[in-house]
Amino acid sequence: MDMMDVALLSTSMASSQSLSQLGTVVLSKTLDTAREMAAGEVAMLDSMPRAAMETSVNPAVGSNFDVSI
């Protein structure tokens, strides 16, 4: 192995490590964003009345009933 091969290997390894660290940081930011969005959706669902949620999903069921005597 001559000096050029060692320098090339060193540069290649440093570049690979930098790209790996960058990928980890980007993944971390993506996960943080997903957690924030999920927390917002849960808060939105918790603030909505249950009856309104059921009617929005299936409006024909449960909103009216017939009584016969």
> For 6-57, what is each residue's pLDDT tens digit?
788 888 888 888 889 999 999 999 999 999 999 999 998 888 777 766 667 7
Residue 43 identity (one-letter amino acid)? A
User: Residue 55: CB partners within 8 Å, gap ≥ 6?
Assistant: 62, 63
- 27 domain residue, yes or no: yes
pTM of the model: 0.55
Give the count of domains, the chain. Answer: 1
- 31 domain residue, yes or no: yes
- 59 domain residue, yes or no: no
Tokens for 63?
A: 């909103």
Q: Rg of the chain's alpha carbons, rounded to an integer?
A: 28
Range of the domain at 41: 20-45
Q: Where are the alpha helices (DSSP H) in 1-69?
A: 3-47, 50-57
Determine the Cα–Cα distance for residues 66 and 34; give it in Å rounded to an integer: 45
User: Which residue is associated with the tokens 């980007």?
Assistant: 26
Q: What is the pLDDT of residue 24?
A: 95
